[in-house]
Amino acid sequence: MAFDPTPFRAQFPAFDRRLGDRPAIYLDGPGGTQAPEMVIDAMAGVLRRGISNHDGPFAPSRESGEIHHGARVAMADLFNAQPNEIAFGQNMTSLTLSVSRALGKTWGPGDEIVVTRLDHDANVWPWVIAAEESGATIRYADFDPDNGWVVTVDRVREVLSDRTRLVAFTHASNAIGSITDVAAITAAAHEVGAQVFVDAVHYAPHGPVDVAATGCDFLVASSYKFFGPHTGVFYGRHEALEALDAVKIRPAPDDAPGKFETGTQSFESLAGVIAAIEYLASLGTHGEDRRSRLRSAMEISRDYEASLSTRFLAGLAEMPGVTLYGIDTAAGRTPTFAIDVAGMSADEVSSRLGEVGIFTWAGHYYALEVMDRIGKLDSGGLVRIGFVHTTTTSEVDVTLEALDRLAAGHTLDGLPVPG
Ligand SMILES: Cc1ncc(COP(=O)(O)O)c(C=O)c1O
């Protein structure tokens, strides 16, 4: 049966927002999604009930410990990992900077680190800094706009050697939506003895993340991209975590995963993470336990989003004034589209859309290498339009009409509202 987003949309207070007489259309999911009521309630509930730091011998403190553990269990379910392989932090960038310092201490001159040109800068620059500090050399795996728009395992192999210590790459591009073959690249990296660090920040809301199946060593995500609060998540294979010296202060735990969590966690956010996982699991139609319901949920989400992509791409193909940068079919991509409207800057397009309540991003979205690779870094970047499972077909149609009008130099006055 086809997925109907209606009952899920109804759970998001943010969708009641209006701009004048127009409903808000959130197409900025790649920059951050909205939160369902259950996430908001869980976070407010923790603060209302009374909250204390964890590990003390009294009730609210014990509750914080339970929330902390519950969030690890929840994320382990989403990633098909174990709870002792999950650590939290402020956001993906902070976690990656911290882990890169720890890994960098194990590298030396002559070692090689592979990063890609498809990545957000948070999975490029921390490794460049750590390589510089340790004397290691950075090698870039490229993607080819004339040939698939993705970093293939073959492109990665071109820069692998027996000196490669780490391959850091994205699960999916937050700029152009291309999905990488995580299992194949991981296997190629492991063949030469390198470790693998995967950025799943953009991919996580769009499909199943499975660290057991792909075999990656480390993976990061951010809960505000999958309907939760602003908290980062770090997965590390337990033996890989145990083997690594975390950058930490003396009283912090010495064992994994706690040694990777700097300072006090946001317990209200962790309560929100648990609720976000429960929300996602509620999209699943089958499965005995939460882990399998989550897989079902993410497959349903992926398939529904692919139908939105097909519709959007068919519409774009009819618009000569709009150029797509990226894969032009629904396969192999998330529903995240970087586009250009002839004769207008990206900022101008986003601003005009924003005036009629269609929220999109413009610029480089921190994907500096991607924008540089396609020659858009110095010219204001591109407009980014992103769908998630709560996006409706009628929102897609209204957005297409808005783009068509802008490309034709028309106004957006009287633009239909989504039905
Ligand atoms: C693919 C990707 N990686 C990393 C980040 C950085 O995440 P955070 O904001 O949690 O530091 C983002 C944020 O947009 C992203 O889209």
Domains and CATH numbers, the chain: 6-35+302-407 (3.90.1150.10), 41-280 (3.40.640.10)
- Bridge-based pairing state of the strands 232-236 and 218-222: antiparallel
Which of 210, 335, 260 is closest to 95 using CA atoms? 260
Are the CB atoms for 210 and 80 separated by under 8 Å?
yes
The response to whether residue 200 sits with its C-beta less than 6 Å from ligand 1 reads no
Q: DSSP of 256-285, one letter per residue?
A: TTGGGS-S---HHHHHHHHHHHHHHHHT--
The response to whether residue 222 sits with its C-beta less than 6 Å from ligand 1 reads yes
The pLDDT value given to residue 178: 98
The response to whether residue 384 sits with its C-beta less than 6 Å from ligand 1 reads no
Region of residue 135 (left: phi > 0; alpha: psi -120 to 50; beta: else): left
What is the C-alpha to C-alpha distance for residues 384 and 345, in angstroms, rounded to an integer?
12
| Alpha-carbon torsion, ordered 367, 368, 373, 379, to 10 deg | 110
The pLDDT value given to residue 281: 98
Q: Which of 179, 201, 365 to mutate to test the pocket of ligand 1 (most atoms within 8 A of CB)?
A: 201
What are 172's strand-pairing partners? Answer: 179
Distance from the CA of 404 to the center of ligand 1, in angstroms?
30
The response to whether residue 141 sits with its C-beta less than 6 Å from ligand 1 reads no
Q: Which of 118, 120, 127, 198 to mutate to test the pocket of ligand 1 (most atoms within 8 A of CB)?
A: 120
Nearest ligand 1 atom, CA 224: 10
As averages over each run of 10 residues, the pLDDT of the chain (419 residues) reads 94 97 97 98 97 94 97 98 98 98 98 98 98 98 95 98 98 98 98 98 98 98 98 98 96 97 96 98 96 98 98 97 98 98 97 98 98 96 98 98 98 96
Residue 15 vs residues 7, 350, 357, 414: alpha-carbon distances, Å: 12, 19, 11, 21
The pLDDT value given to residue 107: 98
Residue 294 vs residues 96, 204, 252, 289: alpha-carbon distances, Å: 25, 11, 32, 9
**348 Cβ partners below 8 Å, 6+ apart?**
none
The pLDDT value given to residue 364: 98
Distance from the CA of 209 to the center of ligand 1, in angstroms?
16
The pLDDT value given to residue 171: 98
**278 Cβ partners below 8 Å, 6+ apart?**
38, 74, 290
Q: For ligand 1, atom 7, which residue shows the shortest CA distance?
A: 92
Q: Which of 171, 220, 222, 370 to mutate to test the pocket of ligand 1 (most atoms within 8 A of CB)?
A: 222
The pLDDT value given to residue 158: 98
Nearest ligand 1 atom, CA 232: 10
pTM, entire model:
0.98
The pLDDT value given to residue 342: 96
- Buried-state track 332-358, b at ≥16 Cβ within 10 A, e below 16: bbbbbbbbbbeebbbeebbebbeebbb
